[in-house]
Structure formats: structure tokens, C-alpha cells
Amino acid sequence: MNSVQDIWKTVLKILSEQLTPTAITTWFSDCQPEDFDNMCLIIRTPSDFKKKIISDRFLPQIKSILSDLFAGDVDVLILAGDEEYLKDSPDGDILPEMAGYTFDNFIVGNSNKFAHAAAISVAENPGKNYNPLFIYGNSGLGKTHLLLAIGHYIQEHYPEKKIAYIKGDDFTNKLVKAIKEGTTEEFRSEYRHVDLLLVDDIQFIAGKQSTQIEFFHTFNYIYELGNQIVITSDRPPMEMSLLDDRLRTRFEGGLMADIAPPDLETRMAIARNKASRLGLLLPDEIIEYIASTVKANVRQLEGVIKRLTAYKEILNDEITKESVNRAIEDVIRTGPEIPNPDLIIRETAKYYSLKPEDLKGNNRSKNPAMARQISMYLMRQLTNLSLNEIGKELGRNHTTALSSIRKIEDLMRTDPDLTIVIRDITSNITTSSESI
Ligand code: ADP
Ligand code: MG
């Protein structure tokens, strides 16, 4: 059995032993098999109505015929009319910002050479060497860069391979939306039938039960077919306390590579590289000064260089230690230290699969109440807002704000899980405020 036509013919033959001739002609005579790829059969019908009937009534039968034929799980995707199969571009957004994120532009030093070598090895032989590749490390150290460099390399060297890129929190959001809209089949085939799945910031799915289960199945599906998965996270699996044990085992079964903050020499090389790419020639002593001042985060290092370029272009400034100091202050000041209250509310809500409005409104069910108290606690911790202002953000007064914060503080003393929840939300807040 080779072509998709043959496969479909065989399916129809077996189906006609199970259904009446009228059913076969009514629903299947104008179905066209379109593609069979990565254990997924794609069928096109002329109308939404037929798609719905076939999906509702016959899908399990078709799947079970296929699974017998192929001795394994086969998915079926039904398309209506000229509905597109999101083959290359789930939302038009695969491999975002990938232009600059290549291996060529990645400076290798002691702190990242292991992760870099692992990434190269996976890019050269996807699905063969290390699966999954799990890259972890603090924010701003090049995880997304390496992840996308793998995507870039594979896109260039194996153009036939299908690639999907998704961020951990988008996986959750899209799944929730798909469940609501009854399009989970489409959601699944979008992320399962790929040769390379790139998952950025997986820590966002920890603690979310239904997302973790779905991701577990997605993972297994891809893995069983010998396709490649690359994951990044801000911490290793064993430190993700709310991670489903089955996922943890899967992650730890691959190769784990951490990225540490770069040493001075590497920071200088990165600064020099970024500057020259922006057409900015900096004297060695300025490079060294920048690299010895900005230590923990490559994104900030890059931010300083970008600002210096702007000063030079816009203000025609000579670059001196003073202008460097100004650039550093700028970067640190607009850095992630003080997130705004909206972000705190949004991330807390997201963590509990709620909407920000659920926290602001009068919904008294247990979940929003807890999430609301946590968001007030986090505002107290992470911002300079007064109790009055904190209360106002959520449509409450300062007394409520105070008692909410106290309640969370009390609970944290007795409930270790809550401490983890708070830590995870905090990390989500800082990660998203940095990527704006
Ligand atoms: P993370 O995903 O770990 O938070 P990113 O991959 O987004 O970090 O990196 C932050 C910025 O720093 C990006 O612009 C990236 O290109 C740059 N960067 C990080 N590490 C390196 C490196 N080793 N060489 C060149 N650029 C780097
Ligand atoms: Mg990142």
C-alpha cells in the first residue's frame, strides 16, 4: 500500500462492509484523500456539513480501520471546502523572530558550549541523537536563540520537514480555545504531525492539569514516530515541582543541557559581535567596561549595545563611559524589576485558567478568590503600590487588600504547595515582562 489514494480505497472497501451503500454514496462519494503523513490521513469533503457528519458519526470507525491497517494509532483530519491544512504555518507564526537567531550568530563560551553542541547535534540529525533535547537556564541567556537556531537549520537543510514552534503558555491558551470551539482534532494535528516540535518556556504548563495531559500525549505521539522535540525551560525538570511525573520522566529521558551566565570573555565576545552587527565600532576598553558591568543577562547586554547605537545615530554622541552608563541605567531601569499590576493580574489569572476580569469582578467562587488574593500578595511583593492602589486594581478597598495579603502569608507558612505556586507565577511574570 503506498499512495494516499490506495489507502483511502482500502478504507472505503472495509467501510462498505460496515455501512449501507446509501451511507457510503451520501457521505463518501465526493471525499478526496489528500495526504498521508506522519500517521495522519487528511481527507477533504466539499462542505462543512459533511465534515461535521463524518467527524461525528464515522471518525472512530475510520480511525480503527486505519489503526488495524497500520498496526498503530492513526489520526484523521477532515477538511471542508478549501479549508487549509495548516501544514507549514499554524498561525503564520512559526519560527518567530528567527532571522537573527542562528548558530552563526551565537557566541560560544564555557557557559553554553554544551547546550550549543547538543543543539548542533540535534539540528544535524533530528530525531536520531537526543530526544527530547531539554535546554534550561535563567532568562536572557540564549535558550530561545538556540531553540530557533535548530529550527532555522532544519528549515534550511531539510526543507521538507514540518516544524512547529509554540510557547508553553500559548499551548495552554490554544488548547483551551480549541476545547471551547470543538476543534481539538485540528489542534492535535497541528502539533502532532510535525517532524520537529519546538516548545519554548515549557515551565508555563506546569501545574495545569489538562494542558499537561494533552502535552504528554503530544509528546508521546511525536516521540514514538521518531520525530524530534526540543524544549526550553527556566529550570530543570526536577525543580518544576508541579510538573506531572510522567512528563518529568519523559523530559529526563532525553538530554538535558543547561546554560549558565557567560564569563567575562564570552560577554565581551557577545558585545563585540552585537555591536559589529549593528555597524557600531566600539573601542576595546568600552567593550570591556560594558561586559564587566552587565553580567547576568545577555538580553541586557544586547540592550545596552542597541541603545548606544541609537545614541550615536540620533544624538550623534561620541561613545564615552558616561553614555555607556546612561545606556546601562536605561536598560536596568526598564528591565523586569517592577512589573505592572495588569501583568500580575493577567499572569495570576492565566495560571488558574481564569480571565483577568474574573479576578476584578465579583465572582465569589473559590478559585477566583484565591487567585485574587494571590495577585494582591504579588503586587505587594513585586511593586511599590500602596494597599489602597492594590485594592483598587481589583475593585476592592485597602482593608480587603491587607487581609488578602495576610491570608496568603499565613497560608504559605503551612502549605508548601502554595509557596511553589507563588514562585511559579512570579517567574512567569518576570519572564513575560522581559519578553515585551
Ligand atoms: P532566553 O530564551 O534564555 O531568555 P534569548 O535566547 O531570548 O534568552 O536571548 C536573549 C538575547 O540574547 C537574544 O537577543 C539572543 O540573541 C542574545 N543571546 C543570548 N546568548 C547569546 C550568545 N551566546 N550569542 C549571541 N547572542 C546571544
Ligand atoms: Mg526565551
Q: What secondary structure does DSSP assign to 109-122, as a single string?
A: -TTTHHHHHHHHHH
CB 336 within 8 A of CB 434: yes
Q: Which residues surround ligand 2, an ion (CB under 5 A)?
A: 143-144
How many angstroms separate the Cα of 101 from the Cα of each of 12, 121, 151, 157, 424?
47, 17, 9, 16, 27
pTM of the model: 0.66
Whole-number pLDDT of residue 169: 84
Q: What are phi and psi of 273, to 5 degrees?
A: -65, -45
The pLDDT of residue 335 is: 52
Residue 126 Cβ < 6 Å to ligand 1: no
Look at residue 195 and give its three-state secondary structure. coil
Q: What is the model's pLDDT at position 208?
A: 81
Distance from Cα 142 to the centre of ligand 1, integer Å: 3
Q: Give dist(CA 26, CA 35) in Å, integer.
A: 22
Tell me what pLDDT residue 85 has. 62
- Structural contact between residues 259 and 111, judged by C-beta atoms closer than 8 angstroms: yes
* Ligand 1 proximity of 112 Cβ (cutoff 6 Å): yes
Atom of ligand 1 lying closest to residue 112 CA: 23
In angstroms, what is the C-alpha Rg of the chain?
A: 26
Confidence band of 80 (pLDDT split at 50, 70, 90): confident
Tell me what pLDDT residue 366 has.
Answer: 66
Cα 328 to averaged position of ligand 1 atoms, centre (Å): 17
> Is the pLDDT higher at 120 or at 35?
120
CA dihedral 167, 171, 177, 179 (to 10 degrees): 170
| Cα–Cα separations (whole angstroms), residue 19 to 11, 27, 215, 394 | 12, 11, 35, 58
Least confident of 21-25, 145-149, 289-293, 425-429: 425-429
Contact 378, 394 (CB under 8 A): no
Residue 436 has pLDDT above 60, yes or no: no
302 lines ligand 1 (CB under 6 A): yes
Please name each of the domains of the chain with its CATH number.
Answer: 4-80 (3.30.300.180), 103-258 (3.40.50.300), 264-334 (1.10.8.60), 341-435 (1.10.1750.10)
Helix, strand, or coil (residue 254): coil
The answer, yes or no, to whether residue 90 has pLDDT greater than 60, is no
Ligand 1 pocket check for 356: Cβ under 6 Å: no
What burial class does residue 211 get, using C-beta atoms within 10 Å of its C-beta: 0-12 exposed, 13-18 middle, 19+ buried?
Answer: buried
Please, are residues 141 and 297 in contact by the beta-carbon 8 Å criterion? yes
Q: Are 168 and 199 in contact (CB under 8 A)?
A: yes
Of residues 70 and 269, which shows the higher confidence score?
269
Does the pLDDT value for residue 53 go beyond 80? yes
Average pLDDT for 109-130: 96
- Which ligand lies nearest the alpha carbon of 261? 1
Please indicate whether residue 139, judged by its CB atom, sits closer than 6 Å to ligand 1.
yes
Does position 93 have pLDDT exceeding 80, yes or no? no
Q: Dump pLDDT digits (tens) for 212-235.
A: 999 999 999 999 999 999 999 999
pLDDT band at residue 98, thresholds of 50, 70 and 90? low
Q: For residue 434, give the ligand nearest its CA.
A: 1
> Are residues 1 and 7 in contact, defined by beta-carbon separation less than 8 angstroms?
yes
**Spatial separation of the C-alpha atoms in residues 329 and 264, rounded to whole Å:** 20
Question: Is pLDDT above 90 for 91?
Answer: no
Q: What percent of the chain has pLDDT over 70?
A: 92
What would the grid cell of residue 392 be?
483598587
pLDDT of residue 435: 44
Ligand 1 pocket, residue 301 CB under 6 Å = no
Q: Which of 255, 265, 259, 234 is nearest to 111 (CA)?
A: 259
Q: Looking at the CA of 262, name the nearest ligand.
A: 1
DSSP one-letter code for 312? I
DSSP assignment of 52-94, as one string? HHIIIIIHHHHHHHHHHHHTS--EEEEEETTPPP-SS-TTS-S
pLDDT digits (tens, 9 = 90+) for 342-389: 999 999 998 888 899 999 887 667 678 999 999 999 998 888 788 899
Average pLDDT over residues 4-27: 89
- Give residue-wise pLDDT tens across range 197-212: 999 999 888 878 888 9
User: To the nearest whole number, what is the mean pLDDT of the chain?
Assistant: 87
pLDDT of residue 88: 43
* 333 class by beta-carbon count within 10 Å (0-12 exposed, 13-18 middle, 19+ buried): exposed
Which of 81-95, 253-267, 270-284 has the weakest average pLDDT? 81-95
Atom 11, ligand 1: residue with shortest CA distance? 299
CA 68 to chain centre: 34
| Tens digit of each residue's pLDDT (9 = 90 or more) over 330-352 | 777 655 557 889 999 999 998 88
pLDDT at residue 127, rounded to an integer: 94
